[in-house]
Amino acid sequence: EKRKLNKYIDQQSKTKDGLVVELAANIGSPQDMEHVLANGAEGIGLYRTEFLYMDRDVSPTEDEQYESYKEVLEKMGDKPVVIRTLDIGGDKEIPYLNMPKEMNPFLGYRALRICLDNISMFKTQLRALLRASKFGNLKVMYPMVSSLEEIKEANDILEEVRCQLKAEGIEYRDFEVGIMIEIPAAAINSDALAKEVDFFSIGTNDLIQYTVAVDRMNEKISHLYSPFNPAVLKLINMTIANGHKNKIWTGMCGEAAGDLKMIPFLLGAGLDEFSMSPSAILPARELISKLTTKEAKEIKEKVLSMKTAKEIEEYLGNVISNI
Ligand code: PEP
Ligand code: MG
């Protein structure tokens, strides 16, 4: 089985009728790169930078961050590397930031919200990213965006940092700036948000949690937490359609992107980039090579007409076992 999949390592990710998509990897640190390269990733779709800030007593310095980003960019050559700005809070606590105890941490002080409130910390990360940009094909992504204003605020800070570097004579390369779509408000308003960014990446882990109001860590209600929930699938479909309407590429870096049962639907909805744990890449590439775009679109339409997660999951389970 493993030998059979190995033939896909150096292949493009392509449907049976020749539509090319990108299969990328999610990473948490430069140490994951060996695994990424061994599994034939065509890019990094999500570099979770928060691990740089965890398990230590002070924030990582600009140089420390720069070195980590540079290492990943260099190892990927000209392949795209999406680096996400700090996403802490929720379940990821950082003692030295003295974050307040909250009743609802997942609805609280988190991610971009912390960065826009802690501008000097955010600027340090943006400086490190700008300095690393010349070593590869960088794309920067903001997490937990709920409104247009947050994008504008973050971009204004990025512009300020760009000007500072220019004044200091430090070289950098222009890069795309995108956002995660992981809050229902962002998915619903994705037509407007698409006009302000270069790409979307759908974060299903949080999008599911917020759409069905089920804490992603709570075992007791985990039966309600499903990527196959029709409401979640409608938001995904809508986000991709609005991205394309506005001519920006749309990817997915939540767990659902690497779920074989989800892939025919996502392909049919037109997803451009699928980012997943490295070990999921080769099975996904094999599955995609066995589907046509026409079949995928029919599957997507059929799924969108169904009413329950159970019915959808069963149908998609049958689809992939018959391929
Ligand atoms: C997501 O929410 O789907 C996501 C990829 O981000 P994280 O799992 O890091 O919250
Ligand atoms: Mg998330």
- 115 is annotated as an active-site residue: no
ipTM of the prediction greater than 0.90, yes or no: yes
Alpha carbons 251 and 237: distance in angstroms, whole number: 12
Query: pTM for this one?
Result: 0.97
For the segment 110-140, what is each residue's pLDDT rounded down to a tens digit? 999 999 999 999 999 999 999 999 999 999 9
pLDDT at 3: 74
If one residue of 205, 216, 232 were mutated to test the ligand 1 pocket, choosing by the most ligand atoms within 8 A of its CB, it would be: 205
pLDDT at 91: 79
Confidence of residue 99 (pLDDT cuts 50, 70, 90): confident
- Measured in angstroms, how far is the CA atom of residue 55 from the centroid of ligand 2? 20
* Closest ligand 1 atom to 204 CA: 3
What is the CB < 6 Å shell around ligand 1? 46, 48, 87, 182, 203-206, 253-254
For the segment 225-274, what is each residue's pLDDT rounded down to a tens digit? 999 999 999 999 999 999 999 999 999 999 999 999 999 999 999 999 99
pLDDT at 90: 85
Confidence of residue 315 (pLDDT cuts 50, 70, 90): very high
Q: What is the percentage of the chain residues whose pLDDT exceeds 70? A: 99
First to last CA, the chain: 16
pLDDT of residue 173 exceeding 90, the answer is: yes
* Total length of the chain: 323
Q: Are 178 and 198 in contact (CB under 8 A)?
A: yes
Question: Comparing C-alpha atoms, which of 129, 125, 128, 86 is closest to residue 109?
Answer: 86
For the segment 2-39, what is each residue's pLDDT rounded down to a tens digit? 778 999 999 999 999 999 999 999 999 999 999 999 99
pLDDT of residue 92 exceeding 90, the answer is: no
Q: Exposed e or buried b for every residue in 242-265, given b needs 16+ CB within 10 A?
A: bbbebebbbbbbbbbbbbbbbbbb
